[in-house]
Amino acid sequence: MRKKTGLGQKKELDAQLNLTPFIDLLSTCVCFLLITAVWIEIGTVEVKQSHGTAAQEEKKETYDLDLVFKDPTQMAVNLKKNGKRVQALKVKGEDFNSMMVNLNETIISKVLTYKKKSIEIATATVTPRSTVDYGGLISTLDVLRKNKIVNIGVLTANGN
């Protein structure tokens, strides 16, 4: 005769869990997170209010800067005052890195000392092409920030 299943002796529902390995793993994770928290770099974004302050009442002569990539080794640099281009420059290089060096020199010698006087760049816009990789765009932004140009925008290739 066959025994019916499920009618046998009942098992205990109390299962003993060994929590020591879990606590060891948890304490190791906490130590790791506390130690690696030192290397987290906090980024800052400089924001200035452009309307409604006393600073706006002062009329400073400010310029805008447009950088337009033609290809990875050539770019057009346009200096604008009140929306009108006052100086157009071309920056070229044998490769991308030499173009970045030339861009830095051009900004120092021809842009920030326009007409032999020191000027302030209010905003700068960078327009990359699809042939310019992300690292190239970041290198361009680094050159601008190195020259104390902090209000920077990035446009798409068609200007939108």
**Residues 88-107: what's their mean pLDDT?**
91
Q: Are 124 and 144 in contact (CB under 8 A)?
A: yes
Amino acid present at 145: R
**Residues 36-58: what's their mean pLDDT?**
61
CA distance 116 to 127: 27
**Domains (ranges, CATH) in the chain?**
61-154 (3.30.420.40)
Q: 6-10, 11-15, 55-59, 144-148: which has the minimum mean pLDDT?
A: 55-59
Confidence (pLDDT) at 5:
61
CA distance 150 to 144: 7
CA distance 124 to 100: 16
